[in-house]
């Protein structure tokens, strides 16, 4: 049984005991404002508890002692911003993550997709691309890949480069094979990769119909109309107002009867668009736009 990696850091990582929480909040606000003004990355509406833990992780790693100290370094050193971006954008992912999701997608979404002449999918916040390759495998096995176009986006250019390369850690193949089988995979998972370049190199045919591109859910707008939008394990890092903004973006980017897939800890409940969707599958967080 594969261990599910939790995206959250242990609560123990944080400010030194004597740090004044009000001052900490002030400094975090100033730092995030500075990052936005200097680099255009807008983390101002990300969930505070998660952001502060990640800032402290970077402060520790750099041998600093205060958030203001980190601010000074970040604003003057783009390389530091790149390192911090990796911390803040939390790229934990896996192939066939939550296998039940892929099984339900096969059983309850694929039959509708079969009726379309052409299928447009958007993976928003795709990280290093494991879920994109997983979806490509699924569509291939269902005979739909040839008429699909997958747009795979993330805020972080570094992870997108890894996604494009399609080389994943060989030591995770055992876990991914188990996920693939539990997800209803129809072949041998090893058919899709070869051992090369010190990792598992996935077949380039899986990205034939994939466009990888940088897109920021906070500041960028809709760029097409989709039949399926997958945004899993991204919205948990956003506060309510930012979640609402992103739901508006998804609603405006989905065709009527299009499918929205969220992560296991996310939902449409209490979003302004709750009534615009019906549930296809509750536990797997799959919804259909109906109005």
Ligand X SMILES: C[S@@+](CC[C@H](N)C(=O)[O-])C[C@H]1O[C@@H](n2cnc3c(N)ncnc32)[C@H](O)[C@@H]1O
Catalog residues that contact ligand X under the rule CB under 6 A. Answer: 7, 89-93, 97, 125-127, 131, 154-156, 159, 216-218, 232-234, 263
- Nearer to ligand X by Cβ, of 83 and 147: the residue is 83
Q: Name which of 257, 255, 261, 251 is nearest 285 in CA terms.
A: 261
The minimum distance between CB 257 and ligand X, in angstroms, equals 23
Q: Is the dihedral of CA 47, 243, 153, 97 positive or negative?
A: positive
The minimum distance between CB 215 and ligand X, in angstroms, equals 6
- Nearer to ligand X by Cβ, of 15 and 136: the residue is 136
Q: What is the CA radius of gyration of the chain?
A: 20
Contacts of residue 290, defined as CB under 8 A and 6 or more positions apart, other chains included, come to 256, 257, 276, 277, 278
Which residue is associated with the tokens 């003057």?
76
The minimum distance between CB 29 and ligand X, in angstroms, equals 18
The minimum distance between CB 236 and ligand X, in angstroms, equals 8
Determine which helix (DSSP H) or strand (DSSP E) holds 124, and give its type and residue range: strand 119-124
| Cα diameter, the chain | 62
One-character DSSP codes across 135-157: HHHHHHHTT-GGGEEEEEEES-H
Pairing of strands 119-124, 148-154: parallel
- Nearer to ligand X by Cβ, of 15 and 97: the residue is 97
- Nearer to ligand X by Cβ, of 24 and 131: the residue is 131
**9 vs 253: CA distance, rounded Å:** 32
The minimum distance between CB 19 and ligand X, in angstroms, equals 26
- Nearer to ligand X by Cβ, of 15 and 123: the residue is 123
Which residue is associated with the tokens 């994939």?
210
- Nearer to ligand X by Cβ, of 91 and 253: the residue is 91
Determine which helix (DSSP H) or strand (DSSP E) holds 114, and give its type and residue range: none
The minimum distance between CB 65 and ligand X, in angstroms, equals 27
- Nearer to ligand X by Cβ, of 70 and 234: the residue is 234
The minimum distance between CB 267 and ligand X, in angstroms, equals 15
Which residue is associated with the tokens 């990052």?
35
């Amino acid at each position: 049984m594969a261990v599910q990696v939790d995206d959250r850091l242990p609560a123990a990582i944080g400010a030194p005991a004597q740090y004044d929480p009000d001052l900490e909040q002030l400094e975090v606000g100033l730092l995030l404002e500075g990052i936005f003004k200097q680099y255009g990355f807008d983390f101002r509406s990300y969930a505070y508890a998660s952001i502060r833990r990640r800032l402290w992780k970077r402060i520790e790693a750099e041998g600093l002692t205060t958030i203001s100290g980190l601010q000074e370094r970040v604003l003057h050193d783009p390389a530091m911003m790149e390192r911090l971006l990796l911390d803040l954008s939390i790229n934990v992912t896996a192939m066939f993550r939550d296998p039940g999701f892929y099984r339900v997608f096969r059983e309850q979404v694929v039959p509708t997709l079969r009726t379309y002449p052409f299928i447009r999918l958007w993976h928003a916040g795709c990280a290093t691309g494991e879920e994109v390759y997983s979806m490509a495998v699924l569509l291939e096995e269902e005979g739909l890949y040839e008429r699909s176009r997958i747009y795979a986006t993330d805020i972080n250019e570094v992870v997108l480069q890894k996604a494009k390369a399609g080389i994943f850690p060989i030591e995770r193949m055992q876990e991914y094979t188990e996920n693939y089988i539990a997800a209803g995979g129809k072949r041998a998972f090893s058919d899709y990769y070869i051992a090369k370049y010190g990792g598992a190199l996935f077949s380039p045919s899986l990205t034939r119909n994939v466009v990888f591109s940088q897109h920021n859910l906070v500041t960028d707008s809709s760029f097409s109309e989709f039949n399926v939008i997958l945004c899993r394990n991204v919205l948990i890092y956003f506060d309510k107002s930012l979640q609402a903004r992103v739901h508006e973006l998804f609603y405006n980017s989905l065709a009527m009867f299009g499918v929205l897939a969220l992560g296991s800890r996310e939902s449409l409940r209490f979003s302004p668009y709750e009534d615009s969707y019906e549930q296809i599958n509750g536990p797997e967080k799959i919804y259909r736009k109906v109005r």
